[in-house]
């Protein structure tokens, strides 16, 4: 639990039965709004005792499938269908959502790299702290919906963190298989977010967390939204919150993981990125991944990029113009389960 008491509050009574729509208020004092607050949308659908699911999207503002899926769910689900409570925040980093950006324009904060947050920190740190200090203690399950944002296109994946406790991992794998995204990625927590993600904060609080990647490119994927909607309903039914939800059986989930640093392919130079493979493709070592074309004249040849390991292309860079160090691809490898 992070130190300090939150300065944020909600207009909802999260202990009340029924459906409520309102805001979490984030104090933000500025030149033209001295006593102002940032209103972060929240919905609560509660019906008596039972588990609580915390459903989140818009942690990165330019990722849209989850924002729309959660808005539809919050409007559609009525309290009589619920046993327990569903807390929905479809635009968690609201300033980033309003700007259509991954980061908050208020502080350049990347919410899913700032957990567990700070009570007296920047606006984005304060949101992370509110989630950890107020919402996670209420929650029995977290589902955090993402996609690749403007810079990545993602093959639909569900992700969990392997904390090294076999029973916990088995429970998360079960939930991931019920969610039913085509790929289930098991992370050892050593990836880009490490211990600073909502998933990591939930794990530290003992709350099972699923993260989903549903599309990308700053656009909206109907297929990704459908995967999210079906997955949410199946998981909520499985944990008893939506006992009568009509759901299809989950499709098979291919269990995979990131194997080593060379699972990520980075741009070696500046130029225009020509990919030779697409998300969902299976690739082998030595296969052409793409090329970077110099922008300062056709007399300079493009620089070829080859994969150095086999895997499934989980994501690729979406914008063509590329700088050295930009992530071009991430590969996943099959998990051999005993
Ligand atoms: Zn994201």
Query: In the beta sheet, which residues pair with residue 55?
Result: 88, 143
pLDDT band at residue 337 under the 50/70/90 scheme? low
Domain span(s) for CATH 2.40.50.100 in the chain: 261-334
- Cα distance from N-terminal residue to C-terminal residue, the chain: 35
H/E segment holding residue 280: none
Residue 188: pLDDT band by 50, 70, 90 thresholds?
A: confident
Whether the Cβ atoms of residue 213 and residue 154 lie closer than 8 Å to each other = yes
| Cβ pair 181, 160 in contact under 8 A | no
Query: What's the half-sphere exposure (Cβ side, CA atoms, 13 Å) at 293?
Result: 11
Ligand 1 centre to CA of 61 (Å) is 8
Residues with CB under 5 A from ligand 1 (ion): 60, 63, 146
Tokens of 296: 């300062």
Tell me, in angstroms, the distance from the centre of ligand 1 to residue 16's CA: 31
Tens digits of per-residue pLDDT, 263-274? 999 999 999 999
Taking the model in full, what pTM does it have?
Answer: 0.96
**What is residue 338's predicted lDDT score, i.e. its pLDDT?**
53
| Comma-separated ranges of CATH 3.40.630.10 domains in the chain | 9-257
Cα dihedral value 62, 65, 70, 71, nearest 10: 80
Helix, strand, coil percentages, rounded to 5, for the chain: 25, 30, 45
CA of 146 to the centre of ligand 1 (A): 4
Cβ burial, residue 32 (10 Å; 0-12/13-18/19+)? exposed
Sign of CA dihedral 145, 149, 155, 159: negative
Laid out side by side, the sheet with 271-275 consists of 303-306, 288-293, 271-275, 321-322
- How many angstroms separate the alpha carbon of residue 147 from the centre of ligand 1? 5
Q: What is the pLDDT of residues 141-170, one digit of tens each?
A: 999 999 999 999 999 999 999 988 899 999
CATH number assigned to the domain covering 9-257: 3.40.630.10
Asked if 311 and 263 touch (Cβ cutoff 8 Å), the reply is: yes
Whole-number Å distance, alpha carbon 286 to ligand 1 midpoint, is 30
Asked if omega into 107 is within 30° of 0 (cis), the reply is: no
Categorize the per-residue pLDDT at 312 as very low, low, confident or very high, splitting at 50, 70 and 90: very high
pLDDT in tens, 91-139: 999 999 999 999 999 999 999 999 999 999 999 999 999 999 999 999 9
> For residue 11, what is the enclosing H or E element?
none
Instruction: Quote the DSSP letter at residue 37.
Output: E
Ligand 1 center–CA 47 separation, angstroms: 31
CB-based contact 46:79 (threshold 8 Å):
yes
Domain 261-334 fold is OB fold (Dihydrolipoamide Acetyltransferase, E2P) (2.40.50)
Query: Is there a contact between 88 and 43 (Cβ–Cβ < 8 Å)?
Result: yes
Confidence category of residue 306, pLDDT binned at 50, 70, 90: very high
Distance 88 CA to ligand 1 centre (A): 17
Alpha-carbon gap, residue 64 to 193, rounded angstroms? 20
pLDDT for residue 197 is more than 60: yes
Report the alpha-carbon distance of residue 40 to residue 127 in Å, rounded.
Answer: 9
76-105 mean pLDDT: 98
Q: How much distance in Å is there from the Cα of 148 to the middle of ligand 1?
A: 6
Ligand 1 mean position, distance from CA 180 (Å):
19
Q: What is the rounded distance in angstroms from the CA atom of residue 63 to the CA atom of residue 74? A: 18
62 CA distance to ligand 1 middle (Å): 8
Residue-wise pLDDT for 19-36, tens only, equals 999 999 999 999 999 999
Query: From ligand 1's centre to the CA of 228, what distance in Å?
Result: 14
């Amino acid at each position: 639990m992070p130190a300090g008491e939150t300065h944020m509050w909600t207009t909802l009574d999260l202990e009340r039965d029924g459906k409520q729509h309102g805001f979490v208020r984030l104090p933000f004092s500025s030149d033209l709004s001295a006593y102002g607050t940032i209103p972060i949308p929240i919905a609560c659908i509660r019906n008596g005792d039972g588990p609580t699911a915390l459903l989140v999207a818009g942690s990165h503002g330019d990722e849209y499938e989850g924002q729309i899926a959660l808005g539809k769910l919050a409007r559609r689900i009525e309290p009589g269908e619920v046993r327990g409570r569903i807390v929905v925040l479809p635009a968690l980093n609201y300033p980033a959502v309003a700007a259509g950006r991954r980061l908050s324009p208020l502080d350049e904060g990347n919410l899913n790299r700032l957990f567990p947050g700070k009570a007296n920190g920047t606006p984005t740190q304060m949101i992370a702290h509110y989630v950890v200090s107020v919402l996670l203690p209420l929650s029995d399950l977290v589902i955090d919906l993402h996609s690749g944002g403007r810079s990545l296109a993602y093959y639909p994946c569900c992700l969990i963190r392997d904390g090294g406790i076999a029973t916990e991992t088995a429970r998360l794998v079960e939930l991931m298989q019920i969610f039913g995204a085509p790929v289930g990625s098991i992370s050892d927590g050593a990836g880009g977010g490490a211990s600073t993600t909502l998933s990591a904060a939930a794990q530290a609080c003992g709350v099972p967390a699923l993260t989903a990647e549903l599309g990308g490119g700053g656009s909206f994927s109907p297929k990704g939204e459908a995967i999210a909607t079906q997955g949410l309903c199946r998981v909520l039914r499985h944990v008893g919150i939506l006992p009568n939800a009509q759901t299809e059986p989950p499709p098979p989930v291919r269990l995979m993981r990131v194997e080593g640093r060379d699972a990520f392919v980075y741009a070696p130079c500046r130029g225009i990125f020509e990919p030779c493979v697409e998300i969902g493709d299976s690739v082998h070592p030595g296969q052409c991944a793409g090329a970077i074309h110099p922008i300062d004249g056709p007399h300079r040849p493009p620089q070829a990029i080859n994969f150095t390991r086999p895997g499934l292309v989980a994501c690729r860079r979406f914008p063509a113009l590329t700088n050295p160090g930009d992530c071009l691809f991430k590969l996943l490898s099959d998990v051999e389960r005993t």
